[in-house]
Structure 1
Amino acid sequence: MSFIFKATASAFRDLLRFKIAWIIIWPILVSTLLWLIIGLIFQDSFSELILLLLNEVGIGGWLQNMESGWITSGIQSIIHIILFIPLVIITTLLITTIFVMPALVKLVAKRSFPELKREYGGTLSGSIINAILASGVFILIWVITVPLWAVGAGIIIPFIAAAFMNQQLFRYDALSEHASKQEIKTICASNRYSLWGLGLLTGLFQFIPILNLLAPIFTALAFIHFGLEHLRLLRAENVKNDLLINNH
């Protein structure tokens, strides 16, 4: 747990640095504008899709027969928001990991981990494949758990989805430049639960107004610090083991 809190504390510190001020806001602004435009263009199609989903859970016909149209419109608006938020979140995270992550890794490594040698174990294609996989599972979690919203259990879905998305999306990119392929596998395998914990903790910020504007960059920074710190420890441990072997 100490590594999780250390990584988040370092991420908060880096948020205050002037050099990253320009990359804090633009990913979420671009994502929000993109989905607002798409929503306006395909508003009727989205409404029809929502009605189909409501019919699937057995309340679509009931809503259509209600005399108070504002109730139906209100429920549809709420569902629009429920769908809009994860779409904006996932798009912002993708923009961050593809376009912003390399700059953040460079800044964090230069300041906090200047001694780490770059092994370039990750690749651009690997990053893209990982992003597609993370996005697909994230969307699948939301889609297959829609019925749970009707019984109130859906309140936990956003946090589970955010935890998965964060740890799956950022753990690879945080290490891809500095770690070798084997080091990436070792760190991810040996810190599976910690990565999920960090994913959940950073995911909480995505649902707090105002703070959610900083959440994608904060998440990226936290995973960079977490990954590079474990890489430093792993290499130190390997050096120690090599010395013991040579001495014997």
Structure 2
Amino acid sequence: MSGILDALARALRDLFSLRVLWVVVWPMLVAALLWLVLGVTFWHTFSAWLTLGLDAIGIQTWLAGLEPVWIAHGIQALLHLLLFVPLVLLTALVITALFAMPALIRLVAGRDYPELKRENGGGLLGSLWNAAVAVVLFAALWLATLPLWLIGVGVIVPFVAAAYLNQRLFRYDAIAEHASADEMAALFKSDRAGWWGLGLLTGLLQFVPLLNLFGPVLAALAFIHYGLARLERRRTASVG
């Protein structure tokens, strides 16, 4: 647990440096612009899907009977917004993991782990595959657990899903440049509880307004610190 808290503390320290603040901004801007364009272009399609979903759970009939009509339209617009925000955050997480991690790794490794040798156990294809698996399983987890909402247990689903997504999405890229393939496999296996714990804590930020704007980069920094510290400790122990 101390390793997780130390990684978070170091990530918070790095988050407000000038070199990092731009990395905080641009993935969120790109994600918001992407979904804004898609939302405007395919508004009728998305609205039809939303209507089908609401009809499946019996809400659309209730909305259709609401008077005045503007109340129903307002509720539907709010539902669009509630879907838009998670999609932007999810996209920003993926963009950060794929494109912003190299700059963050250079910053963290150059200052805190300058002696850590780079073994390049991962690569771009591995990163792309890891991100694809993370997003697909994240979506599958949501779909598979939808029935749990009917019995109230569904309230834990967002937290479990966020924990899974963060640990799966960021752990690979955090150590891919410095660890060998064998070291990566060993760290993923031996520190599974730590990766999940860090994923849960950073995932909680996604549900806090305003703070969730910093969530993707804070998660990336925390996983870099955690992963490189674990790798450094492993190599020190093997030498000793």
Shared topology, TM-score over 0.5?
yes
**1:161 & 1:78 partners in 2: Cα distance?**
23
Q: Does 1:120 align with 2:120?
A: yes
State the match for 1:245 in structure 2. Answer: none
Aligned to 2:168: 168
> Alpha-carbon deviations, 1:172-229, whole Å to 9, x = none?
0001000001110111111111111100101111222222121111100000000000
Measure the CA separation in 2 of the matches of 1:192 and 1:130. 16
What is the CA-CA distance between 1:71 and the residue it aligns to? Answer: 3.8
Q: CA deviation at 1:153?
A: 4.3
Partners of 1:38 and 1:144 in 2: CA distance: 26
> SS where residue 120 of structure 1 aligns?
coil
2:83 equivalent in structure 1: 83
Q: CA deviation at 1:77?
A: 2.6
Q: Does 1:130 align with 2:130?
A: yes
TM-score, normalised via structure 1 length? 0.90
The Cα offsets for residues 9-40 of structure 1, whole Å up to 9 and x where unpaired, read as 00001112222222111111111121112111
Q: Residue 150 of structure 1: CA displacement?
A: 6.0
Is 2:20 aligned against 1:20? Answer: yes
1:154, 1:32 → 2: CA distance? Answer: 27
Say yes or no: does 1:227 pair with 2:227.
yes
Moved more, 87-96 or 226-235: 87-96
Contact (CA 8 Å) 1:57, 1:147: kept in 2 or not? no
Alignment correspondent of 1:195: 195
Distance in 2 of aligned mates of 1:40 and 1:193: 42
Q: Number of paired residues?
A: 240
Give the whole-Å Cα distance in 2 for the aligned partners of 1:147 and 1:53: 14
User: How many angstroms apart in 2 are the aligned matches of 1:207 and 1:81?
Assistant: 15
- How far residue 106 of structure 1 moved from its aligned partner, in angstroms, is 0.9
Q: Over aligned residues, Cα RMSD in angstroms?
A: 1.7
Q: Partners in 2 of 1:70 and 1:147 — Cα distance?
A: 31
> Is the aligned partner of 1:9 residue 2:6?
no
Moved more, 163-172 or 81-90: 81-90
Within-5 A mapping of 1:89-104: 89-104=89-104
Identity of aligned residues (%): 51
The answer to whether 1:218 aligns with 2:218 is yes
- Seen in structure 2, the aligned counterparts of structure 1 residues 143 and 39 have a Cα distance that, compared at 3 Å, is farther
**Structure 1 unaligned spans of 5+:** 241-248
1:18-97 to 2 correspondences below 5 Å: 18-97=18-97
Deviation for aligned residue 1:156 = 2.6
Amino acid at match of 1:160: V
Residue in 2 that maps onto 1:244: none
Residue in 2 that maps onto 1:246: none
Q: Is 1:206 paired with 2:196?
A: no
SS at match of 2:118: coil
Query: How far has the Cα of 1:60 moved from its partner?
Result: 2.3
Gaps of 5+ in 2: none
SS in 1 for 2:186: helix
Hey, what's the Cα distance between the residues in 2 that align with 1:68 and 1:157?
35
Q: Helix, strand or coil: the match of 2:58?
A: coil
When Rg is computed on C-alpha atoms for both structures, the one with the higher figure is: 1
